[in-house]
Structure 1
Amino acid sequence: MLNLAHIRTLTEVVRLGSFTAAGNRLGYTASAVSQQMASLERETGIRLFVRSARSVQPTQAAQAMSQHGSKLLRDAEMLVAAGNSAGGSSEATLRVGVFPSAATFLLPTVLQSPQWQRQNVSLNIVIGEPSTTVPGLRAGGELDVCIVYQVGESGLVLPQGVRRTWLAEDPYKVLVPAKWGLTAGERVLANDIAEMPWILHLRGSSDSNVVESVLANGGMHPKVVASSDDFNATLRLVAAGHGVALVPQLAMTQCPAGITVVQVPEIALSRKVIGLCAEGAPTDVVDAFWEALGQTSMEKDESGS
């Protein structure tokens, strides 16, 4: 009979690409991983890896076994969960990856809602940018769902079998320091605001490229006085009078004093908030989670709009 621990190790080796990385993930030494894989090869009579002096490459047989093994592991985990339920421990766990703004302003609302608390489901949360969390949705990965954002048509590279659910539209707002004397909701010409100092995303990301493209299409090539991917820092710099910024509405839920939101017709930008579900994730629990998220009030913070 195959050892489930060896199957789990195999899926991590194939997913991460090396014995060392898999060992770090699971708490084994690279030597222990190698021994487990050698044992699995003996048990199955199948060559799983091509070994050379410098690398270890999984064969097609290893990749196929890893894919089927991840389903076997999930089935085994479901049996364990069912056993726990029969023994009086009925709480399920949902493994969630989420980007920082949503972790700060969406998840606490979900966790505190009576609707979600009735589900008797605990969340195991990983906070990070989509590029960090989405790989965890691969077969045999460490996440069941991810909450991610997409700016414009910037691409999201998804593992095979991942399902998408649209959650919300998160429009960007143009923020200026209140001390500059503009009125909330005032229409400002692109030519006028282009002459002001700006706080923008760090260059190089897909988000930054989209923002720069939108500004360029409006005839704006602003002077950048700060670069930040931390919206909390950006908000406080705007409040301190350092410059203009584009910030998504979700990140403005706890906006500090000293900021005015203005309208710039040439700037129309939003990001989609999307739910991603791994193949094999518990459908009923995931659906309940999406429903609870749908009850959150992303649209409530209309300050300055």
Structure 2
Amino acid sequence: MELSLHRLRMLRELRRRGTVTAAAAALHYTASAVSQQLAQLERDVGGKLFERLGRRVQLTDLGMVLAEHAEEILGAVERATMALEEAQQSRSVRLTAGVWASVASGLLPPALSALAATHPGIEVRTRELTPEETAGAVRDGTLDFSFVIDYSDYPMPEDPALERAVIAVERLHAAVPVGTVPAGVVSLQDLAEQPWILAGPRSHFGRAVRIACQRAGFEPTIDHEVGEQATALAMVGAGLGVTLVSDLGLSLRPPGVDIVALTDPVMRTVSIAYRRTAARRPALHLVIDAVRGAAAELGLGARAPLP
């Protein structure tokens, strides 16, 4: 019997997520492709590994046995990969990172350019996800590392499976239609009567801004609920409302938008999250150093994590 690591990863994701569709999304395949590979795994094993219960899938006893061993096998493969990286003087390795728009546009280009100049054997590939998704994808092994955010009023819960390396500390600024705020600074309370453009309350950013507004004594009136920062800023430029934007997000500012400092700053820490089991990977730490250097060049150098 020969077991494919590729198919074992699919079985592991199926066990974790409960549906073929969810497993396929985590692995960036179609559901039909995952179904075909799992069916082939059953043929390889010569027994039934799972059964369907409505939309969900339940592993059989045989499937549970193989899934448990799959965790050990895939963990051993990861440890072997790290050992090989340590032994290779060339540092030739490929890493996959989870990013979102402002990090991908404002921080990664200078970091990866600097990394390519000093360590050309390290290749970083990226996948754009929401900030809420990236840590889970690292924990599951889909990504090697990801960028995560902690807001001063709304830190992310600690994950015992992950380590974090602080990369940058950003301020949030008010983004308002041109001429709305004549002064150079503004308080959140001064924006209480304005219509707001904001991400949904389930998003980390949307929740953090709502909490900041509540601490300032008001509940924002949200006329437009949008997930993308660039979309929110475009709507601000059209005079449809106000929002907050981070330092890295300033690169997305369109015409018609004034950026105004807040009298009581809302801060956020940007970190790189990676599995504790990957802490010894030299290539990972070289990437972290390159990104920290890029953040420092932008004036966003890493400081102590926010409480």
- TM-score between both structures, scaled by the size of structure 2: 0.76
Equivalent runs, 1:80-159 vs 2, <5 Å: 91-113=92-114, 115-119=115-119, 120-139=121-140, 141-151=141-151, 152-156=153-157, 158=159
Residue equivalent to 2:245:
247
2:274 aligned to which of 272, 277, 280? 277
Residue equivalent to 1:45:
none
Worse-superposed segment, 129-138 or 58-67: 58-67
Residue equivalent to 1:57:
59
Distance 1:240 1:299 in 2: 32
What secondary structure does 1:220 align onto? coil
- Kindly state the Cα deviation for residue 268 of structure 1 after the two structures are TM-superposed: 3.2
**2:236 corresponds to 1:238:** yes
What secondary structure does 2:254 align onto? coil
Kindly name which structure, 1 or 2, has the bigger radius of gyration based on alpha carbons: 1
Distance 1:91 1:227 in 2: 43
Contact 1:166–1:272 (8 Å) recurs in 2: yes
Distance 1:41 1:203 in 2: 47
| Counterpart amino acid of residue 70 in structure 1 | L
Residue equivalent to 2:303:
none
Equivalent runs, 1:161-240 vs 2, <5 Å: 161-180=161-180, 182-183=182-183, 185-186=184-185, 188=186, 191-240=189-238
Distance 1:179 1:32 in 2: 58
What secondary structure does 1:109 align onto? helix
- Kindly state the Cα deviation for residue 69 of structure 1 after the two structures are TM-superposed: 1.1
| Counterpart amino acid of residue 35 in structure 2 | A
Equivalent runs, 1:68-87 vs 2, <5 Å: 68-74=72-78
Structure 2: segments with no counterpart, 5+ residues? 301-307
- Kindly state the Cα deviation for residue 51 of structure 1 after the two structures are TM-superposed: 4.6
| Distance change >3 Å, CA 136–CA 210, structure 1 → 2 | closer
Distance 2:290 2:110 in 1: 9
Worse-superposed segment, 21-30 or 235-244: 21-30
- Kindly state the Cα deviation for residue 98 of structure 1 after the two structures are TM-superposed: 1.2
| Distance change >3 Å, CA 9–CA 195, structure 1 → 2 | closer
| Counterpart amino acid of residue 276 in structure 1 | A
Distance 2:59 2:83 in 1: 32
- Kindly state the Cα deviation for residue 38 of structure 1 after the two structures are TM-superposed: 5.7
- Kindly state the Cα deviation for residue 167 of structure 1 after the two structures are TM-superposed: 1.4
| Distance change >3 Å, CA 262–CA 23, structure 1 → 2 | closer
Contact 1:164–1:277 (8 Å) recurs in 2: yes
Q: Deviations over 1:105-152 (max 9, x none)?
A: 111111222x4432121112111113333232235x221111121233
What secondary structure does 2:294 align onto? coil
- TM-score between both structures, scaled by the size of structure 1: 0.77
Output the aligned Cα RMSD. 3.6
Q: Deviations over 1:25-70 (max 9, x none)?
A: 567463552442464477xxxxx95657664326553443122111
| Distance change >3 Å, CA 75–CA 108, structure 1 → 2 | same
Structure 1: segments with no counterpart, 5+ residues? 43-47
- Kindly state the Cα deviation for residue 277 of structure 1 after the two structures are TM-superposed: 0.9
Q: Deviations over 1:75-118 (max 9, x none)?
A: 565799899x89xx9741011111221011111111222x4432
